[in-house]
């Protein structure tokens, strides 16, 4: 292990954590404010990537394609909220899980029918091609820096909205006691639509930003959804701060574990045993981390106010 490789993998972990945060932030708002389990949240991430593929190809501009993809993802998410989700709010969690799981199957097949099953990609924007020199002989892609920076900017904007605006005050209050917020005269349906709008935009933005560096294919949101649930459990349900911190921790632990676990185990065992054990252990690290956090702090690292 060299210093240069360590720096690159730390940056990769931060980039992965930022993507997880963009997905998990919307999911934790929906789960925390509405007590609604939306397994189809990962599909919105996938649709953001596919819409970016379509609109970037149509417009020839990454920025314009990104804006149109976000607008289309928002419209689609609000349509799902109106047609499906709002009819499940008063149902128990098992009904929500079954309905949204069925939606995953439906939309994955719909994506195959429209875009095909073959992986697609989005070309890197011309102004973000190239690399940034970190030190002698160590380069890091400019686009990945832009992804990290845009994620941090979105995180700062979310913090401002949640902590400093009236809408954010209602979101925090709704996460603590939604029935009381409704009893005080707040239109809870409108609040729920705002929450879904945020969640859809964030998931779609994550998918669109990931499209130039990841393969865009049916089912790509399923793995991200599982990791997003891990993030909100570690960070604390309903907590944006918790989702941000937990996403960075999960991204770093997963990336560094997969990169260096074999080298670490070779200090204690033979190379073949280290490879076999390292492959198994590195894929388990984030779940072991979640188990430890739940044992020490069942409410999460930074739970939302009112949930401690």
Give per-residue pLDDT as tens, 210-235: 999 988 999 898 889 899 999 999 99
**How confident is the model over 31-44, as a mean pLDDT?**
82
* Dihedral, 74, 105, 290, 32 alpha carbons, nearest 10: 40
Q: For position 247, what pLDDT does the model report?
A: 94
pLDDT at 20: 92
Domain locations along the chain: 3-296
Q: How many CB atoms lie within 10 A of CB 277?
A: 15
Q: Give 17's contacts (C-beta < 8 A, 6+ positions apart).
A: 247, 248, 249, 250, 251, 252
Measured CA to CA, the distance from residue 11 to residue 17 in angstroms comes to 10
The pLDDT of 179-206, averaged and rounded, is: 78
Given a cut of 80, whether residue 274 has pLDDT beyond it is: no
pLDDT at 157: 87
Q: Which residue has the tokens 């029918």?
A: 113
| 36, 100 contact by CB (below 8 A) | no
Average pLDDT value for residue range 88-111: 89
Band of the pLDDT at 148, cuts 50, 70, 90? very high
| Residue % of the chain over a pLDDT of 90 | 36
Residue 240: C-alpha distances to residues 172, 215, 243 (Å): 10, 28, 5
What string of DSSP letters covers the chain? Answer: --HHHHHHHHHHHHHHHHHHHHHHHHHHHHHHHH----TTHHHHHHHHHHHHHHHHHHHS-HHHHHHHHHHHHHHHHHHHHHHTGGGTTTS-HHHHHHHHHHHHHHHHHHHHHHH-SS-B--PPPGGG-SEEEEETTEEEEHHHHHHHHHHHHHHHHHHHHHHHSHHHHHHHHHHHHHHHHHHTT--HHHHHHHHHHHHHHHHHHHHHHHTTTS-B-TTHHHHHHHHHHHHHHHH-TT-HHHHHHHHHHHHHHHHHHHHHHHHHHTTTS-HHHHHHHHHHHHHHHHHHHHHHHHHH-TT-SSPPTT--
How deeply is 44 buried, as exposed, middle or buried, from its count of CB atoms within 10 A (0-12, 13-18, 19+)?
A: buried
CATH tag, 3-296: 1.10.3470
The pLDDT assigned to 234 comes to: 92
Give yes or no for a contact between 5 and 23, defined as CB atoms under 8 angstroms apart: no
């Amino acid at each position: 292990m060299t210093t240069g490789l360590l720096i690159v993998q730390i940056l990769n972990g931060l980039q992965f954590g930022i993507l997880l945060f963009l997905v998990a932030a919307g999911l934790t708002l929906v789960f925390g404010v509405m007590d609604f389990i939306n397994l189809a949240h990962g599909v919105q991430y996938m649709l953001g990537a596919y819409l970016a593929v379509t609109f970037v190809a149509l417009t020839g501009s990454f920025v314009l394609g990104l804006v149109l993809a976000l607008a289309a993802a928002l419209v689609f998410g609000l349509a799902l909220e109106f047609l499906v989700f709002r009819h499940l709010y008063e149902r128990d969690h098992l009904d929500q899980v079954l309905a949204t799981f069925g939606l995953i199957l439906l939309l994955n097949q719909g994506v195959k029918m429209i875009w095909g099953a073959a992986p697609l990609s989005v070309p890197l924007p011309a102004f973000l091609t190239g690399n940034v020199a970190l030190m002698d002989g160590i380069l890091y892609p400019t686009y990945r820096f832009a992804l990290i920076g845009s994620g941090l900017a979105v995180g700062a904007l979310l913090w401002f909205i949640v902590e400093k605006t009236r809408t954010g005050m209602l979101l925090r209050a709704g996460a603590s006691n939604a029935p009381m917020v409704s009893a005080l005269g707040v239109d809870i349906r409108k609040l729920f639509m705002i929450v879904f709008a945020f969640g859809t935009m964030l998931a779609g933005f994550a998918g669109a930003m990931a499209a130039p560096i990841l393969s865009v294919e049916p089912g790509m949101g399923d793995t991200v959804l599982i990791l997003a649930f891990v993030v909100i459990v570690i960070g604390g349900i309903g907590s944006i701060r918790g989702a941000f911190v937990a996403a960075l921790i999960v991204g770093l632990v997963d990336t560094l574990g997969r990169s260096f676990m074999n080298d670490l185990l070779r200090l204690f065992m033979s190379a073949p045993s280290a490879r076999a054990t390292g492959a198994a252990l590195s894929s388990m690290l984030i779940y072991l981390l979640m188990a430890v956090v739940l044992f020490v702090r069942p409410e999460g690292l930074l739970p939302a106010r009112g949930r401690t």
